[in-house]
Structure 1
């Protein structure tokens, strides 16, 4: 569950190949439109009228984030232009949506992640904002960060570095600071904070390695490393580095056990 598919990975790097994720999304949209005719126009405008996943995603995000002074057409053009020029973002989109489909039992289909799940949507807007930040377009990147926070209740600084195959479950209240890094295949529940400890400047936020599962409303503060495949219990306050494959809990958090699953972020078993 959640392990990258070699066929999918190869298709991400070859524009001549079919796109199995996009094919599945279109199939789902057609079936849903048939089952709920009242939504047929919605599915057509959101998915079936587009020729690729990037266009459909840009459309969905632009319509969620638009406001009178930030037009949907402008946002859609910006999102799509960034996505189509960045192979890394194209891969991240597909690995993220697969993560939601595999790990979140509330995610009934790829369509539901794309159209309804604010954890997925906010993560994809962050990816565009991160690319813009790297291009020196920092004002626009920060404007998108602000808009994500207003609409989704998720605050991710565009300078943060986030890997692929990420699940942001529910999303509400998630805060990720400017110098935070998150490895591949990490799962974060609602209310997670990757923050600083005060007014320090420079490299001041956590570094979360691959395969980590962070429970709801856990706070990880300071420039500390969370090792591979760690499980952090809900409500924990983590102020010190955590060695790989540890289970930590409490305020402040202490090691209470060892992880037996290779990737707790994939199994999502928080009761170990």
Structure 2
């Protein structure tokens, strides 16, 4: 529990603003942590995975102080919980603040598994009905989005163990259950 509390203490300070005061965020984060063991377990699992998969990560503390993908993912976990509780305006406020601070747009309705590595995630966009499984690695400038004004289930579903490389754009109700690695070479 100590690890999750330390991570969320750091995050609520980063996300605080005039419209989201730090004491309000603190109360929200602590309340969610106390009520959701799955989030606490996911924080620890994500932290371990970043250290395992990212050679640039020199320690767990280095990760939670400096890796915006990890911080954005944990912030999303709180926003998603608020979304599920019907506190959608507050969830979207947190999502917007995460976008301002980390340049990562994960809709609070999106479902994200555990053991997630979001590496160099500037430009990451994940739509409302997207699902990301467990043991997934996603790099920067990646979109999991819909295809226009369709309503309902309109975003991709990413299975367990998938790697999505930088610059990938996946639109529509696709289901990916394999490693997706697109490499573009410019001459």
TM range (shorter): over 0.9
Match of 2:136 in 1: 186
Q: Note the residue ranges of structure 2 that are not aligned, 5 or more in a row.
A: none
What do the CA deviations read for 1:208-254 (whole angstroms, capped 9, x no partner)? 10111011010000001112x3232146xxxxxxxxxxxxxxxxxxx
Helix, strand or coil: the match of 1:158?
coil
Structure with bigger gyration radius? 1
Q: In the alignment, is residue 130 of structure 1 matched against residue 90 of structure 2?
A: no
Q: TM-score, normalised by structure 2?
A: 0.95
Please name the residue that 1:230 is paired with.
179
Aligned-partner Cα distance in 2 for 1:217–1:80: 35
Q: Are 1:179 and 1:205, in contact at CA under 8 Å, matched by a contact in 2?
A: yes
Secondary structure, aligned partner of 1:105? coil
Q: Deviations over 1:136-188 (max 9, x none)?
A: 11111011111111110000011111111000001110000001001100000
Which residue matches 1:198?
148
The alignment's C-alpha RMSD in Å is: 1.4
Task: State the TM-score, normalized to the length of structure 1.
Answer: 0.66
Higher relative contact order (CA 8 A, sep 6+): 2
Contact 1:214 1:234 in 2 (8 A): no
**Mapped partners of 1:150, 1:199: distance in 2:** 25
Tell me, yes or no, if the aligned pair for 1:65 and 1:151 is still in contact at 8 Å: yes
Are residues 1:98 and 2:43 paired? Answer: no
Count of aligned residue pairs for this structure pair: 185
Cα deviation, 1:106-141, whole Å, max 9, x if unaligned, reads 111000111111100000000011111111111110
Q: Identify if the C-alpha distance between structure 1 residues 234 and 82 changes in structure 2 by more than 3 Å, giving closer, same or farther.
A: farther
Alignment partner of 2:163 out of 209, 213, 216: 213
For structure 1, list consecutive stretches of 5 or more residues without a partner in the other structure: 1-18, 20-51, 236-272
